[in-house]
Chain A
Amino acid sequence: MSAIDRLREELASRDGTLKPLRVLAASGQLGYGIPAAALAEGLERAPHFIGCDMGSIDPGPYYLGSGNLATSDAMTRNDLAQVLRAARSIGVPLMLGTAGTAGAAPHLDKTLTMVREIARDEGLHFRLASIRADMPRDVIKRAIAAGRVTPLGAIPALAERDVDAATHIVGQMGIEAFQRAMHAGADVVIAGRACDTAVFAAIPAMLGYPPGPTMHMSKIVECCSLCTTPGGRDALLGTLDGDGFIIDSMNPQRHATPMSVAAHSLYEQGDPYRVIEPEGMLDTEQARYESLDEHRCRVSGARWQPATRYTVKLEGATLVGERAVLLAGCGDPKAIAAMKEILPAVEKTVRDLVANSVRGPFQLHHRVYGVDGVFAWPAPPETLPREVFVMVECIAATAEDAKSVATVFKQYLLHHGFPGRTSTGGNLAFPFTPPEVVCGPAYRFNIYHVMEVDELEPLFPVTLEAL
């Protein structure tokens, strides 16, 4: 019997209603360590399946562009082993979304390799489904031509050249793809780029739990105990019962209160009341948040509006160049006061000096931390800080070019003379040398658009293998 059929049987009551379904959210971002006590407590509650999210667009374009994971191999492997062991120990499905930080082919493949190695090393046997999320370029180009691609935010319309320039392009899958994997008989589903809700909503939706509360619960549990007070990363149990669900942190110190759970709807969302998914829209305007006791909160009343047309969010990143940075401090009041004029002056000098040796174009960005490094303030503060940190970033065609520019910049910034200078030994304090650091390739998001599609299935192929 397949895992989903087992759940169907287990959760059906004689009177035709559904028994409460328990979902254990094990990790909001796999690869940064899983608090063990809360995971163990979660397993004690006999969840019907375990879900974890493994990625996001938030860490920026580098991971999608490069195909690298944001998390270290050793930590990622350890976390994967923990959740695989957990799910297999109680014989329930494991659902994992946005494998390897960004969910494109290299991220998914690295994750799958680890999963296969863990299964082999630990003698775990299960049916593994993997779901790809790489969007075919010809499909996107045809959608552009048909006027079915729209920017998400204040960015240009998508052009064919952007599609060609992106190193990886993924689409966010919804519950449909996870459900196909479960239909195919999966015990463990490892998905490429996926909506974080889909990881948790696919199984309950398949079993007939009401879609409004199912999607709302999924939106809340995907970050684990972030919706509690004090918030944290511990495993979280969501229980769907009737017209609502209960939020229960597996760390007894973290309490789900109506305020803390309601507030979570604000987190990283443009609209606190509405969340658009590939298959429809979650509307929480009528949601009610009630305290069950001092630790648990019950939520009901969310509504689900099925989409009239399927949409897929597209994400793509393209190479900008190679990055090197110069890192240095400054503690001289006169140099700090003059820094705004010094940096452009040094840039001009550097551009002239490297003209013969660095042939390709390069861009320079300087930041003076303590003044306007974090926010682009229109004016400096009334009182300048005692010390500042200076970062000069160069993005050039090659790593060697970027390093050359950063190195020359270092020397001329160190010794730049300016009116009234008294600290003539040098303008900078280097915490270490070399203070110029080669960072590797720099990427930017060149695709963040939504594409209308007629069918979701061909875009997210499922592969099943027996381990």
Chain B
Amino acid sequence: MKLIEAARVIRSKNAGPTLLTVDLMFNEPAGFERALAAPALAPAAIAKLYGLDAAQVVVIPYQPALAVKIVMDRKLVAGDPGDRDVYGAQQHGPLLSIEI
């Protein structure tokens, strides 16, 4: 199953200018559990998609909202010359096609 089919929300945003976070929210506990178990959502796999080291990615389950938060280092501080997305609100693209 593709992540986009299971998730209600797939969004990205800065958490301060040095961190990017991606929130995945699910309608059903089943989707939430499935995402948590998916190898494609392990830190090393996400790091590969974003060109980072595995140690730069943290995956945090957040049961109260049936959500998974992914936190990673920004390659460029928000707004630095060469940045593509000051707010980080459109950095979720690589996750749209992954399988869970």
Question: Which residues of A does B touch, CB under 8 Å?
Answer: 57-62, 151-155, 258-259, 262-263, 265-273, 287, 289, 320, 363, 365, 367, 373-378, 393, 395, 442-445, 448
Contacts of B17 in A (CB 8 A): 57, 60-61, 153, 445, 448
Interface size on B, residues (CB 8 A): 38
In contact, B84 and A270 (Cβ under 8 angstroms): no
Knowing A153-B73, A272-B60 are in contact, say whether A374-B85 is a contact too (CB < 8 A).
yes
* B71 close to A (CB within 8 Å): yes
In contact, A445 and B64 (Cβ under 8 angstroms): no
In contact, B71 and A444 (Cβ under 8 angstroms): no
Which of A60, A152, A270, A393 is B21 in contact with, Cβ under 8 Å?
A270
| Closest-CB distance, B57 to chain A (whole angstroms) | 12
Contacts of B66 in A (CB 8 A): 259
A60 to B69, CA, bound (A): 23
In contact, B64 and A270 (Cβ under 8 angstroms): no
Knowing A155-B18, A365-B81, A444-B81 are in contact, say whether A375-B90 is a contact too (CB < 8 A).
yes
In contact, A265 and B62 (Cβ under 8 angstroms): yes
Knowing A262-B65, A270-B71 are in contact, say whether A376-B84 is a contact too (CB < 8 A).
yes
A289 to B65, CA, bound (A): 10
Knowing A57-B16, A375-B91, A444-B77 are in contact, say whether A266-B23 is a contact too (CB < 8 A).
yes
Which of A58, A259, A262 is B14 in contact with, Cβ under 8 Å?
A58
Contacts of A271 in B (CB 8 A): 60, 71
In contact, A448 and B87 (Cβ under 8 angstroms): no
* B67 close to A (CB within 8 Å): yes
When C-beta atoms are compared, the residue in chain A nearest to B84 turns out to be A374
In contact, A448 and B16 (Cβ under 8 angstroms): yes
In contact, B16 and A272 (Cβ under 8 angstroms): no
A273 to B58, CA, bound (A): 14
| Closest-CB distance, A324 to chain B (whole angstroms) | 13
Interface of A is mostly: loop
A402 to B32, CA, bound (A): 49
* B78 close to A (CB within 8 Å): yes
In contact, B79 and A445 (Cβ under 8 angstroms): yes
In contact, B79 and A444 (Cβ under 8 angstroms): yes
In contact, B14 and A268 (Cβ under 8 angstroms): yes
In contact, A58 and B84 (Cβ under 8 angstroms): no
Contacts of A367 in B (CB 8 A): 84
Starting from the known contacts A57-B16, A448-B77, 16 additional A-B residue pairs (CB-CB under 8 Å) come to A60-B17, A61-B78, A265-B64, A265-B65, A266-B23, A268-B21, A271-B60, A271-B71, A272-B67, A272-B69, A363-B81, A374-B91, A374-B93, A395-B81, A445-B80, A448-B17
In contact, B84 and A154 (Cβ under 8 angstroms): no
A337 to B77, CA, bound (A): 30
| Closest-CB distance, B28 to chain A (whole angstroms) | 12
A59 to B94, CA, bound (A): 24
Contacts of A62 in B (CB 8 A): 79
In contact, B73 and A269 (Cβ under 8 angstroms): no
Q: Which of B73-100 contact A (CB under 8 A)?
A: 73-75, 77-82, 84-87, 90-91, 93-94
| Closest-CB distance, B12 to chain A (whole angstroms) | 10
Contacts of A152 in B (CB 8 A): 16, 18
Contacts of B82 in A (CB 8 A): 363, 365
Which of A259, A270, A378 is B19 in contact with, Cβ under 8 Å?
A270
| Closest-CB distance, A65 to chain B (whole angstroms) | 9
| Closest-CB distance, A414 to chain B (whole angstroms) | 24
A455 to B77, CA, bound (A): 30
Give the 10 A-B residue pairs with the shortest CB-CB distance, closest first.
A153-B18, A60-B79, A262-B64, A263-B65, A270-B15, A154-B73, A60-B86, A262-B65, A61-B79, A272-B62
When C-beta atoms are compared, the residue in chain B nearest to A259 turns out to be B65
| Closest-CB distance, B93 to chain A (whole angstroms) | 5
In contact, A287 and B81 (Cβ under 8 angstroms): no
Q: Interface centre among B17, B25, B82, B84, by most A CB within 10 Å? A: B17
Contacts of A61 in B (CB 8 A): 17, 78-80
Contacts of A262 in B (CB 8 A): 62, 64-65
| Closest-CB distance, B75 to chain A (whole angstroms) | 8
In contact, A375 and B94 (Cβ under 8 angstroms): yes
| Closest-CB distance, B96 to chain A (whole angstroms) | 11
| Closest-CB distance, A316 to chain B (whole angstroms) | 11
A83 to B66, CA, bound (A): 36
When C-beta atoms are compared, the residue in chain B nearest to A260 turns out to be B65
20 residue pairs bridging A and B, Cβ less than 8 Å apart: A57-B16, A57-B17, A58-B86, A60-B79, A61-B17, A152-B16, A153-B16, A153-B17, A154-B73, A263-B23, A266-B65, A270-B15, A273-B60, A375-B84, A375-B85, A375-B91, A377-B93, A393-B81, A443-B79, A444-B81
A267 to B93, CA, bound (A): 18
Q: Interface centre among A59, A266, A268, by most B CB within 10 Å? A: A266
